[in-house]
Amino acid sequence: MENNELVQLKEKFHRKSILIVGDVMLDRYIQGRVNRISPEAPVPILEWRTSEDRLGGAANVAVNCLAMGAQVNLVSIAGADDEGKRLQEGLRNAGIRDYYIHFSTERRTTTKTRVMAAQQHLLRMDAEDTRYLSPSEASTVLGLWQDAWDKNHPDLVIIQDYDKGLLDKGFIDRIIQQCKHAHVPVIVDPKRRQFWDYQEVTLFKPNLKELSEAIGYPVQPRPEAVAEAISLLRSRLRPANVLVTLGAHGMYLEGEVAQLIAPVPVELTDVCGAGDTVISVLAVAMAAGLPVAEAAELANRGAAWVCTQPGVVPVQWEAWR
C-alpha cells in the first residue's frame, strides 16, 4: 500500500467508535532457557528469566482497535483478584477505560500462562471460571452495557465470545436487537456454546474448527466444502456476511459475493491472537465505511503480520506497507 493510501486509511479509521462486548483474559508469558532434561522425569528444565503479562481475549481486540485509531469501549467481567488488578493496570497503560468492566468477587480472572524457551512454546496453563454469570453479576454487566451504549453511540459493536460465561442467549439477544433497532452493525467472533444464538448479525466470523464442530462434521478447507457448510449455517442464523478463517489456507468470505482470500506468505512465528486481529481490523474498516470484501483483505494482511511476531501483539500500520 502506498503512503498516501495509508494516510487516507488512517483518516477514515480515526475516532470511529467501537463498542466491544466479550470475555477478557490475561496472557502471561514465562520466558527462559532450556539446557538440560530433568533427572526426575523426561521433561525439560526451564531456567526462568522473565515473565510478562499482556492483555488477551476481548481486551486484545480492544488494543488492536485502538492501535488503528478507533475510539474503544469494552464491556466485560473479570475477577477481583491479583490477575484482575494486572488486567486493570494493563488496560489503563494501553489507554483503554475500565469503566464498563465488572471486577467480581464471585469468579477469577481468566489467565493463560505460556511457558516459552527461545520463542519455542513448551507449555500452556489455563486458570479460569466458565460458568454463566450469577444473577447479581448479570444485572451489573447488563447495566454496564446499557451505560456504555447510551454514552458512546457506537459506529459498530463487536461480540467477542470465548465461552467463559459472560454471554448467554438473553444477553446476546439484547445486544443484537438493540443494534438492529439503531441500525448499528454487529459482528461476531463465536465459540461453540452459544454458536447458534447469533441470529441475523452483520458479519459472523467462525474459524474452520468452530464451523466444523457446530455443523457436526469436519469441513475441508476447500472453497466448495466451505461454501456448503456456510449454506447450512445461513439456513439457521441468516447473517448478512460470513467470513470463515482457514488458517494457512486463507479466508473464505460470503456476502454479496463469495470469494477465497488467499493467505499472505509469511514466516510464521506465533499464531496466537491472529483471530483477534482479524475481527478488530474488520470492525474498524467496516465502521469506516469500507466494503466488507476490502475490510476482509485488510484483516487478512493484518493477521499475517501478527503471526510474524512472538506472543499476542496488536497489529501495527506497517502490516499494510
Residues 6+ apart with CB under 8 A from 92: 98
DSSP state of 207: B
- Give CA torsion, residues 14, 317, 239, 141, to 10 deg: -60
How many Cα atoms within 13 Å fall on the side-chain side of residue 291?
8
Q: How far apart are CA 308 and CA 321, in angstroms?
A: 15
Out of 27, 161, 270, 276, which one is annotated catalytic?
276
- Grid cell listed for 242: 460470513
For residues 207 and 277, is the Cβ–Cβ distance under 8 A? no
Cα angle vertex 126, ends 266, 31, to 5°?
55
150 is catalytic: no
DSSP state of 183: T
The span from the first CA to the last CA of the chain, in angstroms, equals: 5
Tell me which H or E stretch contains 1: none
Q: How far apart are CA 17 and CA 74, in angstroms?
A: 11
Q: How far apart are CA 191 and CA 209, in angstroms?
A: 10
Spell out a b/e string for 66-102, using b for 16 or more CB atoms within 10 Å of the CB, else e.
bbbbbbbbbbbbbbbbebbebbbebbeebebebebbb
φ, ψ for residue 48, nearest 5 deg: -65, 125
Residues noted as catalytic:
276
